[in-house]
């Protein structure tokens, strides 16, 4: 907490560059520097007073500020928000984002979309979606990464693009897949077995014993347990791997596997 208090409320102490706190209603593009360094670590857009607000910042920003302190530079002021947004994007492109490996800036977007008027309230979900859209790498974020931010983005990407997840967003899924077609995408969003393709699973189920369907018992073989797991996913109305067309066929081929209620449900 001591380190946190070091930079809380130190706006006036670290005023530097053009502009002043008296012009706190002027719209500006500003930069935050580590004291003594020539390049900024953050570029922002907002009223001048926003440049000197240090509480409502990202965890990454707060760590840098707590360790090194912050020098504030008001780079330019504007009467038009659009002009300010253009300049912010230009500077972020010029100095480069750290998460893309292009520079030292800890910004997570390309600019022009921040709390420039001090009234926009972007949610954490919105921020993560923007960070995913601006990821800019050939490989998708890894949810198991040792980097906390990449791990969060990887887990969020799974949640936003799998239909069975509560956070599923079909519009975002379409947008992210169009922007990054080279990423590995599962067309149905579900994993059927560790290595078995979907068509092979369906074939194996159709060829299974007519009287006894696969069971998920620990006393069964791993192969049978995997088939049983796939069958459960195909049957579930809430799972991304549900396959009503295949279930209609399976009910006709394996009628002994299903109750009368299940037969009515899948055949209708």
pLDDT greater than 90 at residue 71: yes
Whole-angstrom distance, CA of residue 29 vs CA of residue 75: 6
* pTM score, whole prediction: 0.42
Of 62-76, 78-92, 219-233, least confident by mean pLDDT is 219-233
Q: Convert the pLDDT of each residue in 149-190 to its tens digit.
A: 888 888 888 888 877 676 778 888 888 888 888 777 754 443
Q: Which two tokens stand for residue 202?
A: 């369906």
The pLDDT assigned to 194 comes to 41
pLDDT greater than 90 at residue 32: yes
Whole-angstrom distance, CA of residue 44 vs CA of residue 21: 16
Query: Could you count the other beta carbons within 10 Å of the beta carbon of residue 112?
Result: 17
The pLDDT assigned to 108 comes to 79
Stretch (H or E) spanning 73: strand 71-78
Whole-angstrom distance, CA of residue 32 vs CA of residue 72: 5
The full set of domain ranges for the chain reads 2-121, 129-179, 198-267
Mean pLDDT of 59-86: 88
pLDDT greater than 60 at residue 229: yes
More confident residue, 159 or 32: 32
The CA distances from residue 215 to 19, 106, 230, 247, in Å, are 72, 51, 11, 17
* Nearest alpha carbon to residue 206 among 222, 181, 227: 227
pLDDT confidence band for 72 (50 / 70 / 90): very high
CB 26 within 8 A of CB 47: yes
Indicate the average pLDDT of the chain: 75
Q: Convert the pLDDT of each residue in 107-153 to its tens digit.
A: 877 877 654 444 444 567 777 888 888 887 777 887 777 778 888 88
Whole-angstrom distance, CA of residue 244 vs CA of residue 267: 9
Strand order in the sheet with 27-33: 15-17, 71-78, 27-33, 42-47
DSSP, collapsed to helix, strand or coil, labels residue 170 as: helix
Mean pLDDT of 200-221: 73
pLDDT greater than 90 at residue 219: no
CB 12 within 8 A of CB 47: no
Q: Which two tokens stand for residue 256?
A: 């002994």
Whole-angstrom distance, CA of residue 204 vs CA of residue 207: 5
Q: Convert the pLDDT of each residue in 244-264 to its tens digit.
A: 788 888 888 888 888 888 887
The pLDDT assigned to 39 comes to 92
Residues 6+ apart with CB under 8 A from 211: 256
Helices marked H in 74-169 = 81-95, 124-133, 148-161
Of 12-21, 41-50, 106-115, 167-176, least confident by mean pLDDT is 12-21
Which CATH number is 2-121 given?
A: 3.40.1440
The pLDDT assigned to 23 comes to 58
Looking at the chain, the whole-number percentage of residues with pLDDT higher than 70 is 76
Whole-angstrom distance, CA of residue 4 vs CA of residue 17: 24
pLDDT confidence band for 70 (50 / 70 / 90): very high
DSSP, collapsed to helix, strand or coil, labels residue 148 as: helix
């Amino acid at each position: 907490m001591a380190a946190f208090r070091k930079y809380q409320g130190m706006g006036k102490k670290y005023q530097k560059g053009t502009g002043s706190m008296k012009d706190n209603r002027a719209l500006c593009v500003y930069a935050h520097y580590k004291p003594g360094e020539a390049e900024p670590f953050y570029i922002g857009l907002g009223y001048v007073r926003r440049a000197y607000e240090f509480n409502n910042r990202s965890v990454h920003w707060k760590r840098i500020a707590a360790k090194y302190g912050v020098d504030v530079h008001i780079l330019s002021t504007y009467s038009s928000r659009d002009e300010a947004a253009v300049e912010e994007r230009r500077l972020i492109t010029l100095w480069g984002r750290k998460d893309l490996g292009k520079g030292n800036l800890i910004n997570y977007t390309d600019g022009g979309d921040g709390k420039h008027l001090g009234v926009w309230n972007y949610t954490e979900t919105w921020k993560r979606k923007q960070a995913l859209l601006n990821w800019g790498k050939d490989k998708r974020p890894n949810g198991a990464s040792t980097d906390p931010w990449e791990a969060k983005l990887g887990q969020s990407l799974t949640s936003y693009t799998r239909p069975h997840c509560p956070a599923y967003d079909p519009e975002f899924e379409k947008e992210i897949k169009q922007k990054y077609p080279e990423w590995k995408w599962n067309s149905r969003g579900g994993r059927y077995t560790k290595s078995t393709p979907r068509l092979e699973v369906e074939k194996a189920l159709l060829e299974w014993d007519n009287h006894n369907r696969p069971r998920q018992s620990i006393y069964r073989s791993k192969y049978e347990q995997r088939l049983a797991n796939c069958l459960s996913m195909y049957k579930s109305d809430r799972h991304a791997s549900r396959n009503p067309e295949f279930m209609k066929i399976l009910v006709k081929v394996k009628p002994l596997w299903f109750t009368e209620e299940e037969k009515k449900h899948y055949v209708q």
